[in-house]
Structure 1
């Protein structure tokens, strides 16, 4: 049952605002769309990139559909295990972490993915028999904001494809057990042909290793953020990459597993962020709609310059006017400038689309504000999956000065 504005309005009344809402059916449909697009590949694995949205209920929803997990920290690994994932269904792809953390994760039995020569050599020398995946930087960007692109020559992510001879030498000297090759070209893939070109670089790298079990093509699939917005054509990519992947497997002499690690693609469009209008403020040149939230709850517009469609669900059919939607943070805190929205009155509820990815997961307590609740819309009902923070949450773990003085 597709969510309607009236459903969101009812949830804001039931659970308060601000509020994050996730549509379980949309998450399921995106997962099924991706698996269907690559149905011609015999061995396909989807690892959800949980940094996008790491609520345990969301992890459990995807686990029930057969998804694995892509994690970037030991804490994400532990959350995945807590949510019910078996270790072999969890991939760990960190960046810039210590050898000690990698060894801690390895002890948990998950798949290690290493993205720099220094740690690769150290880990291989100590643990030559542990199955390891190598993260390659193909130096190809298939689109995306400069702040979130990872395929360029100066990126901190991955081992440069130009360092492949050095990489091979390390593997030969340590006799490491390399079972997979991974790449990531960035986020918001616009050009499928560029992605396919990067895939050829991955195939070339894979030929240097004779005992691979899988190739991981990352993700970065673009989703639409506004009407008529461009998005990655998953069906076309599935058709073209599946054909080329199957050809490579024949050439390699082994049926490898094709892995993707989508995050935003699975959860972005499923998410809505609801906020109440505190004040409508007319200045000499602008009408501001000030809401009971800020970039402490949805940082993407300020951080990435991203655009989130905003709808006044309290007055969806009202006459459209131009508003600048701003937050209550004591700093420049703008969600939208000069945006056409149905007429706004104080007390109205605004709904921000595409709030499933990198919204709650990047939220903070800046200005000592509480983080909002999270609700999962499933089977026509809203289910609370994270409670709204309280003052007790805010001070938890803090040690006041009188207690320090008493201890002395």
Structure 2
């Protein structure tokens, strides 16, 4: 059963309960499961929202959100590109055939080898610092180049990404002008402009303010550097409703607002109409994946604890920065008491929920952790020797298949040279 995309403010169980129970009989918990039909529906909605763009639109899926080639292949088939920031992500994109200008390489502190790989694949390089221009000049300047703008105190950040002036990303306004001049002088023929100033933002106006800022900068860059901007990338950051009562971001409202600004800044001017790009990941797959786990322990001391077989190594977000993920206890709805839902890491921040009102949980109960389809399995790690979980895909045909197996001890010890391991 696919997610009901119309239930914008509710936390409904995103998969059929019987299906999940049946899967747990075949695949040991914990595991991630994604919904192909819902992901495709979201991809099509995103494209339709911006079908007005005179020279075209594309979302470059942020590979870091869910770096599985089966997911990337689905999104590529729906017309999306890939937003990459590392060698491994470039290789994943290449494996599913997302290359050329469908590949956007936007990294920071970048090793030369990664620039070389992006150029080999024909990808669009988005520079995070003006000094990288000299790195590219050494290995061969590409025909197309983009630059990432950091507005500093001119733009308010949000809770997840922080203040722009304290972020390590991007160029200042003055550096942007100089970078385009240098790139033009050194032979670059096609130019883009980019910014990324928010993460998991739910306010439509925030994105429109960002668009206004970038259109304004595009006009200034064109006037002062002499380049024509061929594409404009508004970054990612469109959030999802993690908490009950949160509203789904209205993509159509963002699109309509950007269309109005596009008309004001571009259509009614002498500027070349740019292609419209985004690099969203979370909104594309986030709500359409869950972490399925099982209660294995209970503890009654100063607080009530439920121990599950997943841990922070499987889903880092709650422990890392207190992110909320809704939890459903299969087959139970009536609230019983407040629990801390915890994993087994030797770290006290290994908690999925703190003082959360939940139904009575007993050993063996299956818990579903919602909205884990982005920045979930992708952020996994092996601290305490924990082995990362499997990933499953519910296909459009209603069948579930494994698209990444669970790690085993052989995987964990594979890089060691110690005899006997």
Distance (Å, rounded) in 1 between the aligned partners of 2:155 and 2:112: 29
Query: What is the TM-score with the length of structure 1 in the denominator?
Result: 0.91
8 A Cα contact 2:156 2:164, kept in partner? no
Is 2:331 the partner of 1:353? no
Q: Indicate conservation of the 8 Å contact 2:202/2:239, yes or no.
A: yes
Matches of 1:129 and 1:344, distance apart in 2: 58
Matched, 1:340 2:357: yes
Q: Distance in 1 between matches of 2:140 and 2:209?
A: 34
Query: What's the counterpart of residue 145 of structure 1?
Result: 159
Matched, 1:132 2:145: yes
Q: How has the CA–CA distance of structure 1 residues 306 and 319 changed in structure 2, closer, same or farther, with 3 Å as cutoff? A: closer
* Structure 1: gaps (5+ residues): 404-408
How has the CA–CA distance of structure 1 residues 186 and 117 changed in structure 2, closer, same or farther, with 3 Å as cutoff? same
- C-alpha separation in 2, matches of 1:70 and 1:130: 19
Question: Residues 121 and 203 from structure 1, CA distance in 2 versus in 1: closer, same or farther, beyond 3 angstroms?
Answer: farther
Query: Structure 2 vs 1, CA of residues 360 and 402 (structure 1 numbering), >3 Å: closer, same or farther?
Result: closer
1:317 to 324, 328, 333: 333
Match of 1:294 in 2: 311
C-alpha separation between the residues in 2 aligned to 1:153 and 1:351?
38
Query: Counterpart of 2:249?
Result: 232
Taking the aligned partners of 1:291 and 1:388, their CA distance within structure 2 comes to 17
Output the aligned Cα RMSD: 2.1
Of the candidates 394, 398, 402, which is equivalent to residue 416 of structure 2?
A: 398
Q: Secondary structure at the match of 2:375?
A: coil
8 Å CA contact 2:228–2:272 kept in 1: the answer is no
TM-score by length of 2: 0.89
Q: Residues 349 and 249 of structure 1: is their aligned pair in 2 closer, same or farther, counting only changes over 3 Å?
A: same
Residue 188 (structure 1) aligned with residue 200 (structure 2): yes
Shift of 1:365: 1.4
For 1:204 and 1:130, the matched residues in 2 are separated by 25
Change (3 A) 1:143 1:118: closer
Q: What is residue 278 of structure 2 aligned with on the other side?
A: 260
Match of 2:116 in 1: 103
Q: Secondary structure at the match of 1:153?
A: helix
Q: Given that residues 143 and 188 in structure 1 are in contact (C-alpha distance below 8 angstroms), is that contact kept between their aligned partners in structure 2?
A: no
1:157 counterpart = 2:175: no
Per-residue Cα deviation, 1:247-295 (whole angstroms, up to 9, x for no partner): 4332244332100111001011011101111111111x32110011211
- Name the SS of the counterpart of 1:159 in structure 2: coil
CA deviation map 1:325-384 (0-9, x unaligned): 010112211111111111100011111001111111110111112111100011222111
Question: How many angstroms apart in 2 are the aligned matches of 1:281 and 1:396?
Answer: 36
C-alpha deviation, 1:142, in angstroms: 6.2
Query: 1:1-59 deviations in whole A, cap 9, x for unaligned?
Result: 32222222222222110010111122122212222222222311111001000111101
* Matched length: 399
Mapped to 2, the partners of 1:336 and 1:273 lie a distance apart of 14
Q: Structure 2: which 5+ runs fail to align?
A: 3-14
Distance (whole Å) between structure 2 residues aligned to residue 100 and residue 126 of structure 1: 10
Equivalent residue, structure 2, for 1:119: 132
- SS state at 1:12 partner: helix
